[in-house]
């Protein structure tokens, strides 16, 4: 929103939920540090650890969550958001009405600056982990890795064209680094690289 030059008042208004969570977290941390057992001894350490803070943060998020509302059409939600922003955000009405005009040029600038680069080693880890979880017992064929590599590329590159053989490079890296060939081919098809186990 800052890149799109959305006024700070509107940004602060949009982050009300995180402010509520932060306030509740502060209270929970105070309770945690001052909690005592039946003998009057401190229950916990006088300092909140990172692990405890993460759990308290989850508790704060649950405690401050507003009740679920009935599902409504997106058009209606947008209209209600706009009316609420105009009423309570202190941002100018013309800014709220023209947010899309602010956002589109900013998005184009960000897209132009961020080059889509594929890290083959990282993609190999992601592809292997996904296929391992999806297939029972971790037994996979090369074709499974190839299909997942293509899905990964579509997601990372957001539909942009990639060089030929990049999916194969990811699969080769996944197999050589994270897989073990346990094939015992009993058919001609089992000898093909795509069907090796």
pLDDT tens sequence across 98-121 = 888 878 888 787 777 666 678 899
Residues in the chain: 197
Q: What is the pLDDT of residues 20-30, one digit of tens each?
A: 999 999 999 99
Average pLDDT, the chain: 84
d(CA 26, CA 57): 9
Q: Residue 171 — pLDDT band, cuts 50, 70, 90?
A: very high
Reading the block at residue 139, the tokens are: 């037994």
- For residues 193 and 89, the model is more confident at 89
Q: Which pLDDT score, from 0 to 100, does residue 117 have?
A: 72
Average pLDDT over residues 79-94: 87
What angle do the packed helices 16-34 and 50-64 form, to 10 degrees?
A: 130
């Amino acid at each position: 929103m800052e890149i799109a030059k959305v006024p700070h008042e509107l940004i602060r208004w949009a982050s009300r939920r995180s402010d509520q969570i932060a306030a509740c977290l502060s209270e929970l941390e105070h309770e945690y540090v001052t909690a005592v057992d039946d003998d009057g001894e401190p229950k916990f350490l006088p300092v909140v650890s990172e692990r405890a803070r993460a759990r308290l943060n989850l508790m704060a998020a649950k405690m401050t969550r507003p009740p679920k509302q009935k599902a409504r059409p997106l058009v209606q939600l947008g209209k209600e958001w706009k009316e609420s922003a105009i009423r309570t955000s202190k941002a100018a009405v013309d800014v709220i009405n023209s947010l899309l005009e602010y956002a589109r040029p900013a998005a184009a600038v960000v897209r132009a600056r961020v080059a889509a680069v594929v890290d083959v080693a990282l993609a190999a880890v992601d592809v292997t982990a996904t296929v391992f979880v999806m297939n029972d017992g971790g037994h996979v064929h090369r074709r499974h890795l190839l299909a997942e590599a293509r899905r990964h590329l579509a997601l990372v590159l957001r539909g942009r064209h990639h060089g030929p053989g990049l999916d194969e490079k990811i699969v080769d890296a996944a197999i050589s680094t994270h897989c073990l060939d346990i094939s015992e081919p009993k058919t001609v098809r089992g000898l093909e690289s795509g069907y090796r186990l």
